[in-house]
Amino acid sequence: MGNKFKNFPRVMEDALSLPGVQLFEPKPVSNELLLRVHTRELVDQTKRAWYWEGASLSVGGCVEAAERIRRGEINNALVFDVAAGHHAGPSSAWGGTYLSCLGPTIFNLREQFGPARFALLDTDCHHGDGTRAIFKGDQDVLHVCFCSQDATEDDGTKIDVAVNFGISDKEYLRMVREHFVSRASEFKPGIIFHNLGHDTATGDYGDRGLSKSFFVDLAKMVKECAERACDGRYMIITHGGARADVADYIFPRIIQVLAESRL
């Protein structure tokens, strides 16, 4: 993951002092919950690796944040994530993400609170193959993934949208409106989950030519979508992206967007 969070939490100080904003320290995810999603081999292998602690705390943070949202203690959350995420499927994981974030999070919500539908938006530059594999065939999960291919699976609940290099901020936002926002409102999810990678920023390893302010505008758009679709229940999970200056710019501003109350 490099050191893109090297200036955190310092750069978030002002954002953290806004009314209603709280910082939670995560606990590691339970073994039991990981085994609902992953094979024992994958979990054991991950436990022996240097990235175990980061991955386990990241997933634990996602599970807890989603529970707090579901219980109504908070309306939305930004979860800082390392070493876990959308390339982790049931039995294999790669690409810097060694445990699934959304698998354990959604399995846990359903176990604690009963059946529910969820909308997943992935705007990291890469295809969310692990998340897709976990929810394949689950038509109560809408997964709209902006990557490098166009595809529709599972009766229209699993969608890929190709994003070309050099797309403008405005055009990307328009595509999110067309392919995600319109579907999410109809789908009536309990919560919207968003894998927000910034590897698509200009000069980063998944460069699509996007500006820093794009990511803030995107969070604002999806937050407004969540307000219409599910009473504002919205959880962002950080994903790919290596540029520390982009992380420093976008995440404090995204916290500010999330903290703005509905009028």
Residues of this chain that interact with Zn ion (CB under 5 A) are: 124-127, 145, 147, 160, 197, 199, 240
Q: Is 47 helix (H, G, I), strand (E, B) or coil?
A: helix
Residue with Cβ nearer Zn ion (90 or 95): 95
Residue with Cβ nearer Zn ion (73 or 171): 171
Closest contact distance (angstroms) between CB of 204 and Zn ion is: 9
Residue with Cβ nearer Zn ion (126 or 194): 126
Residue with Cβ nearer Zn ion (60 or 197): 197
- Residue pair 188/143 in contact (Cβ under 8 Å)? The answer is no
Closest contact distance (angstroms) between CB of 126 and Zn ion is: 4
Token pair listed for 21: 């904003």
Closest contact distance (angstroms) between CB of 180 and Zn ion is: 12
- Cα angle 132-43-83, degrees, rounded to a multiple of 5: 65
Closest contact distance (angstroms) between CB of 201 and Zn ion is: 11
Closest contact distance (angstroms) between CB of 163 and Zn ion is: 10
DSSP 155: G
How far apart, in whole angstroms, are the C-alpha atoms of residue 136 and residue 141? Answer: 9
Residue with Cβ nearer Zn ion (160 or 248): 160
How far apart, in whole angstroms, are the C-alpha atoms of residue 79 and residue 64? Answer: 10
Hey, which bits of the chain come out as E strands? Answer: 76-79, 118-122, 141-147, 151-153, 158-162, 191-196, 234-238
